[in-house]
Amino acid sequence: MKPTLEIGHRTDVGRRREHNEDYLSIHVPDVEEQIDSRGTLLMVADGMGGHAAGEIASRTAIAAVLDSYYGDLSGGVEEALGRALHTANRAVIDEAGRSYERAGMGTTLAAAAVHNGDLVVANVGDSRVYLIRDGGIVQLSRDHSWIAEALAAGRINPEDARSHPWRNVVTRSLGGGLELEVDVYPPRRLHLGDIILVCSDGLWGMVPSERMLQIVESRSAQAAADGLVSAANEAGGHDNITAIVCRIAATAAQEETEQTLQPEPVRFQDAARRSPESWHQ
């Protein structure tokens, strides 16, 4: 039995920005072959660049991921996500080359694929995917940012990280260069009542995870998405804010044993530079 999903979403310009460079996508296929091979794909992209180039970058990336992920049904979901994000990277680079004003544009992207009761996560940058289960919230993706790397290396402490001037500097982005490493995480079995949250840093940077958990657990998926965005705005709304909330309303895997919530990512190199057999490192 395929999982039944309740999905809510919202994106907002916030209180400090003039336009919204975030972009979201929720794709539920109506073609049986795509459903069987790829499932539902949830994505949030946070664009960067002047003259509205960030908005173009985020839209371009998501369109390219959708085209690749559902257009080529060869291989499994993990391989398809890695391939699709590399395709999106090249699409953003190509689009940036069309205009001087778009030079240097880029975007983060976080993706969550729900396929036959499994969840597969991929990301580039610091847009995030969380899993909420049994009263707990865990970040499944890993930030590709200066702050995250400094924290991991012990160069700064969490208190200093909150106000550090480089807290918004990402170390990987789609459009940042042809040499790109994409993190794709091993599948995990979903359970009845699990909630997937995909969001931009305009949410998690303003609202603590404990507060996000409180908002999401007590509301419907759409009310939760609305509540998360409202909470980020109430906290200052310093950036664009985007949230997708997906609740697993039914699944065939309810009796599965619990899995660890910190999987190691599989590294995907550019498909144009490596053969499919060598993608898994």
Average the pLDDT over 108-133 and give the result: 97
Residue 34 above 60 pLDDT?
A: yes
Helix/strand/coil percent split, the chain, to 5: 30, 25, 40
Question: Do β-strands 106-115 and 4-12 pair in parallel, antiparallel, or remain unpaired?
Answer: unpaired
179 vs 84: CA distance, rounded Å:
15
pLDDT value at position 259? 44
What confidence tens digit (pLDDT) does each residue in 186-214 have?
999 999 999 999 999 999 999 999 999 99
Cβ–Cβ under 8 Å, residues 194 and 259: no
Sign of CA dihedral 165, 171, 107, 242: negative
What are 128's strand-pairing partners?
A: 199
The CATH superfamily assigned to 4-254 is PPM-type phosphatase domain (3.60.40.10)
What confidence tens digit (pLDDT) does each residue in 54-88 have?
999 999 999 999 999 999 999 999 999 999 999 99
Q: What's the predicted TM-score (pTM) here? A: 0.87
Beta-carbon-side half-sphere exposure of residue 201 (alpha carbons within 13 Å)? 25
Cβ–Cβ under 8 Å, residues 245 and 224: yes
191 vs 24: CA distance, rounded Å:
24
Q: How confident is the model at residue 261 (pLDDT cuts 50, 70, 90)?
A: very low
From first CA to last CA, the distance across the chain in angstroms is 32
The rounded percent of the chain whose pLDDT value lies above 90 is 74
For the purposes of burial, counting CB atoms within 10 Å of the CB of 62, is it exposed (0-12), middle (13-18) or buried (19 or more)? Answer: buried
Beta-carbon-side half-sphere exposure of residue 205 (alpha carbons within 13 Å)? 24
Residue 178 vs residue 155, higher pLDDT: 178
Q: What is the DSSP letter of 37?
A: H
What does the angle CA 191 – CA 127 – CA 18 come to, to the nearest 5 degrees? 130
Minimal CA–CA distance to 235: which of 11, 16, 10? 16
Q: What is the largest CA-CA distance in the chain?
A: 55
142 vs 126: CA distance, rounded Å:
7
Beta-carbon-side half-sphere exposure of residue 170 (alpha carbons within 13 Å)? 24
For the purposes of burial, counting CB atoms within 10 Å of the CB of 273, is it exposed (0-12), middle (13-18) or buried (19 or more)? Answer: exposed
Q: Which residue has the tokens 């530079």?
A: 273
Q: What is the DSSP letter of 274?
A: S
Residue 237 vs residue 277, higher pLDDT: 237
Pinpoint the alpha helices (H) of the chain: 32-38, 53-71, 77-96, 146-153, 158-161, 201-204, 209-217, 221-234
- Crossing angle of helices 209-217 and 221-234, in 10° steps, is 150
